[in-house]
Amino acid sequence: MKVIYRNQVKATGSSVDEFKGSGMFIIFGDNAPEELRDYCYSVNINPINGELKAGQFLIIDDQAYEITCVGPEAPVTLAGLGHMTVSFTGLTEPEMLGTLYVKLAPGQTEPDMGIGTMFLVVEP
């Protein structure tokens, strides 16, 4: 298993809970714009060690979610700003350029994230 990306939530915006159950969440480095900061999970800006692509897995704590597609801007903003939206819609064609799309397995739910939550992108 090759690790493509690794990060950890270091702070949460005051309004991140408003997205719970919405099928998405947003991560951003320390330079998040003021108008978005309250809605983001704050992370360090970490390098991507390879290419983000469908068929890989986003692992959040102990839950693995299959990546179904990657918006073309997602790797750029993730590497440069620590910014990416994760959508649990399982789309196979991106609707938003900066979004990583994953699917929920049967019986699986969106993750319960907070300070200290670890996430990885891995190749199986």
- Under DSSP, is residue 70 helix (H, G, I), strand (E, B) or coil? strand
Q: List, for residues 8-53, the tens digit of each pLDDT value.
A: 999 999 999 888 878 999 999 988 888 889 999 999 999 999 999 9
Structural domain boundaries enclosing 63: 2-123
Considering its fold, how many domains does the chain have in total?
A: 1
Q: What are phi and psi of 112, to 5 degrees?
A: -95, 100
Instruction: Report angle CA 105, 121, 57 to the nearest 5 degrees.
Output: 25
Round to whole Å and give the CA distance between 92 and 70: 8
What does pLDDT average to over the chain? 95
CATH number of the domain bearing residue 29: 2.40.33.40
